[in-house]
Structure 1
Amino acid sequence: MPQSVAIIIPCHNESENVPLIYQALMKTFQTDLTQLQPQIWYVNDGSTDDTLAQVQHLQDSDAQVHYIDLSRSFGKEAAMYAGLVTAKADYYAVMDADLQDPPAMLPDMYAALQEGYDMAGAQRTDRSGEAPVRSFFSNLFYKFINRVSQTQIVPGARDFRLMTRQVVDAIVHMTERNRFSKGLFSWVGFKTKYLPYQNIERQHGETSWSFTGLLRYAIDGIIDFSDAPLTFVSMIGIISFLGAFAALIFIVIRAALYGDPTAGWPSMVSIFLMIGGIQLFALGIVGRYIGRIYIETKQRPIFIARKIK
């Protein structure tokens, strides 16, 4: 009996891409991965178009197609988790529906697992077709998080990967609500091989990731895998205190030697505003961490499925 592989595909308004990714996957499995039995799991993440109808149409003609219809949009991270925790297979793959993750890489990923690797991932080597500003901040994010976090994230690594059941078991046992999958994949360890490929633009539709959304995602990743922001604001507090103490000594000595010719209220107001701004900045960072703790203590489910079939 052939081994099975579950392909997890989060979908948010991907009606045009649903049949295309299915056709590409079937071509790959019928020509290059005949030794594996595929299960294609579409996770409908609160789509407002006819994504679900397209998936149901495919399921009517192919029993290998399954879907999880979430009760609302919980985000890509939750949709990925829903697929991983629901599907039962020997191997698991995660990929986007927009064909930016080429199914033609799956045979090489499978070959890597046969070589003894536990996980094979795709690593984008260029960002052609992407806005320069977006590429700049993306590269800056990888450099920063790898500097401040003990969990190293490969620059350009995609969520697209093929994993053994052992890796998936480790992933799904981490039930945190605030999920940064790139970090989780690296944190669990295991023997991993990254396969380079050039950037591919999405087939149809517009990406749901805005610059603001990506920025929030990056901040979440930094907070989830590093306490460097807390250390940073602590250092700012220490530097501010030492600077203020040195200034106080200088003012006292100057007043003793030369008197106090000016009242100095404008400079005092500026100093108060600066220190107040630093305090609010520090409180904002601390508040982000406390907010994370607050959300986790509620223990709400990561996702709610309206229907699984």
Structure 2
Amino acid sequence: MTVLSVVVPCYNEEKALPFFYDRIVEVASQLLQKHNTQVEFWFIDDGSKDGTLALIKQLQKSDDRVHYVSFSRNFGKEAGIYAGLEAARGDYVVLMDADLQDPPELLSDMLDAVKDGPYDCAATRRVDRKGEPPIRSFFARCFYRLINRISQTEIADGARDFRLMTRQVVDAILAMTEVNRFSKGIFGWVGFKTKWLEFENVERIAGETKWSFWKLFLYSIEGIVAFSTVPLAIASVAGLIFCGIAFLALVFIFLRALLWGDPVAGWPSMLCTVLLMGGIQLFSVGVLGQYLSKTYLETKRRPIYIAKEKE
């Protein structure tokens, strides 16, 4: 009999967790009958401030398949994913959200693809963004187009963290111990043969999303810096271009003064030029700063998370 570990990062999911547990337990019984696969549950409490941890402990008392890791504070979803993969003991591991935006009913098809098929991983992607604010959907699509153009790591538009992996894939992901993690990029970087399953977007069952537009924007920068050095090249090329423009401007000013004199005029255009050049310089320094800050954090070798409780 094989074992499937279900890893569920949780942050303030007290309202959604009972609905998720009822659904996943029902699906687990179907997997046992159809695939002869036993399921274990790993809930990763990411420093929740509500009753999430207490609810998980309550579930554990009535179900010995339930396990948990509780962080000393909020370390973020990426740390929760890593902790769950590290704790999982199954032959297969699946990542899921507790808000039921990842339909548990897909697990049977995912297990079919990996267990009986030629695939090492079964991943999911949304075919639409129904229920999302239009501006958020627009920027999300722009991000996927951008990251796929400037990075050698392919990330599918609409890809979810909801994926089922073999033990070999999980071990490969765990071998990447960087602190600044972008799992969608890591999943693509490690490779392996992946089966994609598509489904329509599902709104969360209860509670509120933890991902504001600003947090998603910062997360997208994390992904770009982690898997592409193109921004550094852009800063360098911009510097060369404006050096060339500055040289041509100097030649023009010299010839104009030589031929027609040098009247005191043109200060508005000069001010605009100075501001433009200053803006380009600050942008380039900012790009360098992003890469330098990530390098600085990595050299500290701090742990990805700190577990306060584990059972």
Q: Shorter-chain TM-score: which interval?
A: over 0.9
CA shift at 1:31, angstroms? Answer: 2.1
Equivalent position of 1:23 in the other structure:
22
Q: Residue type of the partner of 2:104? A: P
Equivalent position of 2:5 in the other structure:
6
Which blocks of at least 5 consecutive residues in structure 2 are unaligned? none
Of 217, 233, 236, the residue aligned with 2:235 is: 233
CA shift at 1:51, angstroms? Answer: 0.3
Deviations 1:79-114 (A, max 9, x none): 010010112110000010000001000000001102
Cα distance in 2 for residues equivalent to 1:269 and 1:143: 36
Equivalent position of 1:137 in the other structure:
139
Equivalent position of 1:104 in the other structure:
105
Residues 13, 91 of structure 1: alpha-carbon distance in 2 compared, 3 angstrom cutoff: same
CA shift at 1:117, angstroms? Answer: 0.3
Given the alignment of the two structures, is residue 39 of structure 1 paired with residue 40 of structure 2, yes or no? yes
Deviations 1:148-174 (A, max 9, x none): 000010111100000000000000010
Report if the CA contact (8 A) 1:33-1:107 is conserved. Answer: no
Equivalent position of 2:66 in the other structure:
65
Report if the CA contact (8 A) 2:179-2:298 is conserved. Answer: yes
Q: Find the residue that maps to 1:306 and give its secondary structure.
A: strand
Cα distance in 2 for residues equivalent to 1:152 and 1:293: 23
Deviations 1:209-252 (A, max 9, x none): 00000000001100000011111111111111111111111111
Report if the CA contact (8 A) 1:11-1:97 is conserved. Answer: yes
Cα distance in 2 for residues equivalent to 1:67 and 1:111: 27
Cα distance in 1 for residues equivalent to 2:206 and 2:145: 31
Report if the CA contact (8 A) 1:120-1:193 is conserved. Answer: yes
Q: Find the residue that maps to 2:102 and give its secondary structure.
A: coil
Q: Find the residue that maps to 1:100 and give its secondary structure.
A: coil
Of 175, 178, 191, the residue aligned with 1:176 is: 178
Report if the CA contact (8 A) 2:123-2:160 is conserved. Answer: yes
Report if the CA contact (8 A) 2:231-2:287 is conserved. Answer: yes
Between 1:263-272 and 1:62-71, the stretch displaced more is 263-272
Report if the CA contact (8 A) 1:110-1:162 is conserved. Answer: yes
Equivalent position of 1:251 in the other structure:
253
Given the alignment of the two structures, is residue 94 of structure 1 paired with residue 95 of structure 2, yes or no? yes
CA shift at 1:263, angstroms? Answer: 4.6
Cα distance in 2 for residues equivalent to 1:307 and 1:290: 34
Cα distance in 1 for residues equivalent to 2:234 and 2:177: 28
Cα distance in 1 for residues equivalent to 2:173 and 2:199: 25
TM-score by length of 2: 0.97
CA shift at 1:264, angstroms? Answer: 3.9
Equivalent position of 1:198 in the other structure:
200
Cα distance in 2 for residues equivalent to 1:24 and 1:64: 15
Cα distance in 2 for residues equivalent to 1:180 and 1:270: 39
Cα distance in 2 for residues equivalent to 1:238 and 1:133: 35
Report if the CA contact (8 A) 1:101-1:160 is conserved. Answer: yes
What is the aligned-residue identity percentage? 53
Equivalent position of 2:117 in the other structure:
115
Which blocks of at least 5 consecutive residues in structure 1 are unaligned? none
Q: Find the residue that maps to 2:148 and give its secondary structure.
A: helix
Cα distance in 1 for residues equivalent to 2:160 and 2:190: 16
Q: Find the residue that maps to 1:7 and give its secondary structure.
A: strand
Deviations 1:132-157 (A, max 9, x none): 00000000000000000000101111
Report if the CA contact (8 A) 2:31-2:38 is conserved. Answer: no
CA shift at 1:277, angstroms? Answer: 1.7
CA shift at 1:273, angstroms? Answer: 2.3
Between 1:89-98 and 1:20-29, the stretch displaced more is 20-29
CA shift at 1:77, angstroms? Answer: 0.4
Cα distance in 2 for residues equivalent to 1:17 and 1:3: 28
Q: Find the residue that maps to 1:184 and give its secondary structure.
A: helix
Q: Residue type of the partner of 1:92? A: V
User: Between Structure 1 and Structure 2, how many residues are aligned?
Assistant: 308
Cα distance in 2 for residues equivalent to 1:128 and 1:235: 40
Report if the CA contact (8 A) 1:123-1:158 is conserved. Answer: yes
The root-mean-square deviation of aligned C-alpha atoms, in Å, is 1.0
Q: Find the residue that maps to 1:14 and give its secondary structure.
A: coil
Q: Find the residue that maps to 1:296 and give its secondary structure.
A: helix
Report if the CA contact (8 A) 2:122-2:164 is conserved. Answer: yes
Report if the CA contact (8 A) 2:173-2:187 is conserved. Answer: yes
Report if the CA contact (8 A) 2:7-2:94 is conserved. Answer: yes
Cα distance in 2 for residues equivalent to 1:210 and 1:128: 17
CA shift at 1:33, angstroms? Answer: 4.2
